[in-house]
Amino acid sequence: MSATPGRIAFATVVAFLGIAPFLPMAGMKQYMLHVVIQIFIWTFIGQAWSLMGRFGLVSLGHGAFLGIGAYATTLLWNFYGLTPWIGSLVAVALAVVMAFLVAYPCSRFGIIGHYFALTTLAVGEVVRLLIIAERDWTGGSLGVTLKAAGDASFIALQYADKQVWYYVGLVLWLAGLWVWARLDRSMARAAMEAIGEDETAAASVGIRVTRFKLWLTVLSAALTALGGVAYAQYITYVNPETLSGIGVSLRIVFAVVLGGMYSLLGPTVGTALTIALSEWLRIVFGVKFIGMAETIYGLLLVIFIIFLPAGIYGSLADLVRRRRRPAAAPATA
């Protein structure tokens, strides 16, 4: 057994799983719990994004799917009293339709690279502006608060107890890891990597480029919408700026790229770091220097991206690999 980065990652996950279920019982502070839940949910969203991102489908508009997910369940509950258990299905269906509408022509007409990034950015903006424009329904830029459920917390999927959300987040995170690993081991991965390298060449060896890209985008969008539902149900307040548009879309991408999008734990590491960083900066500066926390956040992001292009986790994994190689070389000689 040698310590490949993959094995280390696997061992880390297993070790964490051993203690994770008991963490909230050890008298974890409510605030810590809140931070961890946010990390779980946003990691799930980041994992969903990285399903596309790692194959060169850089979307800057995942806020669109996030916003659709969050607003669909919230509005269905507020106006029609529809339980989020069904509402989330509607939300995912809407996100899938949206993803299909965007991804089909994009794949069909070969919109890739910068063009794909900017097209998706426009999609994210459309959703944000539609939410603002339909203010009679959505509350415009003021956002909407989820109607309190009272006793029916299971039907409404509303729990004041953060411990419940901790386990929901944990399950989501694991589900995200599972989907990621599943895709990583499938034939689709080889096909998608070939497509990411060169579409025409991939098509020439019989890979169905359009079908693969479409499938991946739809999967990613559906999971993102689900993440949006979870976030909205947890926070019980939705707002166009925090759930759609360019800001949140960039934040998702940042977290993933910072962690490293080519590795299983990359999105987790990146999201945990960015959320911990922004929470920490928020506490340090509080309300004294408005904007200072975000300023440092932005500055650090630029520095990280310049100096750690493979992401933090990716760079660490490279380091482990490099350390191993000199040791292994004499053995073969």
147 backbone dihedrals φ, ψ, rounded to 5°:
-65, 135
Tell me: does residue 125 bind another protein (CB under 8 A): yes
Candidate ranges 69-77, 86-94, 295-303, 325-333; the one touching another protein (CB under 8 A): 295-303
Kindly state the smallest distance separating residue 123's Cβ from another protein, in Å. 6
Tell me: does residue 146 bind another protein (CB under 8 A): no
- For the CA atoms of 62, 34, 87, 130, the dihedral, rounded to the nearest 10 degrees, stands at -40
What DSSP line would sit under 21-86, residue for residue?
Answer: GGGGGGT--HHHHHHHHHHHHHHHHHHHHHHHHTTT---S-HHHHHHHHHHHHHHHHHHH---HHH
Tell me: does residue 99 bind another protein (CB under 8 A): no
Tokens of 87: 């509402």
CA 44, distance to chain mean position in Å, is 5
Tell me: does residue 312 bind another protein (CB under 8 A): no
Tokens of 242: 């925090």
Q: Choose, by CB under 8 A, the member of 66, 102, 192, 229 that binds another protein.
A: 102
Q: Site size for another protein, by CB under 8 A?
A: 46
- The H or E element spanning position 238 is strand 237-238
Interacting positions 226-255 with another protein (CB under 8 A): 246-247, 250, 253-254
Tell me: does residue 150 bind another protein (CB under 8 A): no
Q: Choose, by CB under 8 A, the member of 16, 100, 159, 297 that binds another protein.
A: 297
What DSSP line would sit under 169-189, residue for residue?
Answer: HHHHHHHHHHHHHHHHHSHHH
Tell me: does residue 257 bind another protein (CB under 8 A): yes
Candidate ranges 10-18, 19-27, 67-75, 302-310; the one touching another protein (CB under 8 A): 302-310
Nearest to 2 by CA among 333, 321, 330, 329: 321
Candidate ranges 34-42, 101-109, 175-183, 210-218; the one touching another protein (CB under 8 A): 101-109
Tell me: does residue 286 bind another protein (CB under 8 A): no
Candidate ranges 13-21, 53-61, 74-82, 88-96; the one touching another protein (CB under 8 A): 53-61
Long-range contacts of 19-26 (CB under 8 A, 24+ apart): 20/170, 21/167, 21/170, 23/166, 24/162, 24/163, 24/166, 24/167
Contact residues for another protein (CB under 8 A)?
A: 53, 58, 60, 102, 105-106, 108-111, 113-115, 117-119, 121-123, 125-126, 129-130, 132-133, 246-247, 250, 253-254, 257, 289-295, 297-299, 301-302, 305-306, 309
